[in-house]
Amino acid sequence: MNPLILALWLCTGALSGSPQDPISTPLKTYTEKIPESEIEITWIAIPVGETGFPKSIGIGSTAQESGRSDDEGPTWTIEVEPFWIMKCEVTWDVYDLFRQQYGLLQQHRIPTEKAGDKTWSDAVSIPTPLWEQDSRPILEGLGTRGGYPAVDITQFAAMQFSKWLSRKTGKFLRLPTEAEWEYAARCGQETAYSFGDDPARLSEFGWYFDNSEYDDPDLGYPGLGAGYRKVGTLAPNRWGVHDLYGNVAEWTLDSYQTKAYSSRAGKTLSVAEAVIWPEKMWPTVVRGGSWQDDPRFCRSAARIPSTRNWQKRDPQIPKSLWWCTDAFHIGFRLIRPVKEPESSGKWWDPQVESIQRQLKEGYKELRVPIEKSGARKDE
């Protein structure tokens, strides 16, 4: 091989598969350590357009699919670009790296009265402390160390985590859109689940109502003796992704609209065209079902609206931007698109007036400038 060509090939990672720059042909799965920690995340390659990874798929379900809801139709088509997706749901071990920043960065708070638009938009909001009195007994029964999924957080919290982790790694990461999530769940199949239509097989791949009971009834969610499990303990789907069905339902970027598919019937849309940007904090879309759901809510096409009831026990006025009090079945995972957007703002910061107002006026809110590997802009 020509030495110049060989050198260029090595620099692109095509031979080495370097996790520092894994964008290559073919797209490769890689594992990356979060800077300034020993925690690793595995990113599964979804090389859309290659053999076994269709360029487009039908979104939604037909009237013949068992367990379907009316909001899953009429069907339409999504054209997806290649991306990586987290092999497993975000765990408490990972999310706590983000959460602990609240106690470390108080002195770097950006005063809203002094922050310019760019400074404010570039900064990252850090989670306020969890309401320990109510949540601690529940989380102790469910598990928070050693691979359990992070739960009871809002969509906004998940989006800010994606911004923070993007800053840490130097790679653009975000929540999946509703259509991208369904693409990853379907694995190119038109059946109710990636493994077929038989819900009896769901126990091989996901924790749901029928198999989420603990051997020790004193563990799990109080009074239920059931709950989520450590991520990745059941079989992955055919693309190598764990827990897309069950365990915890997962946030997507989209606002929930009951008749969202009506205007899309028979159309083919890109990801950017398909996403429905939220104008309100609730309801937005979660996908995949959870440990407390029946199989029909775990299907690839099933759409679940978030609800204010997930914060019904929050005594604060206004209620927390960060934490739910009754959503111990809701978590998330991120994707990394190969093609980054020209502007990342709306993928990380919801353009919701109530959220933006609380960020600027809430005395507990902490927004700070963060760059790659945790370095702050003022350092």
pLDDT > 50? residue 2: no
- Predicted confidence at residue 112, as pLDDT, reads 83
pLDDT > 70? residue 256: yes
- d(CA 289, CA 245) in angstroms, rounded, equals 6
The stretch 275-283 carries a mean pLDDT of: 97
Supply the pTM of this predicted model: 0.92
Checking phi first, is residue 130 left (phi over 0); if not, alpha (psi -120 to 50) or beta?
beta
| 301-304, long-range: CB < 8 A, 24+ apart | 301/59, 301/60, 301/61, 301/65, 301/68, 301/72, 301/182, 301/192, 302/67, 302/69, 302/72, 303/69, 303/71, 303/72, 303/178, 303/256, 304/249
What are the sequence ranges of the domains in the chain?
1-33, 36-374
Q: pLDDT digit string (tens) for 26-55?
A: 899 999 999 999 999 999 999 999 999 999
**Residues of the chain above pLDDT 90, percent:** 83
pLDDT bin (cut points 50, 70, 90) of residue 373 is: low
Which is the CATH superfamily of the domain at 36-374? paralog of FGE (formylglycine-generating enzyme) (3.90.1580.10)
Contact 231, 46 (CB under 8 A): no
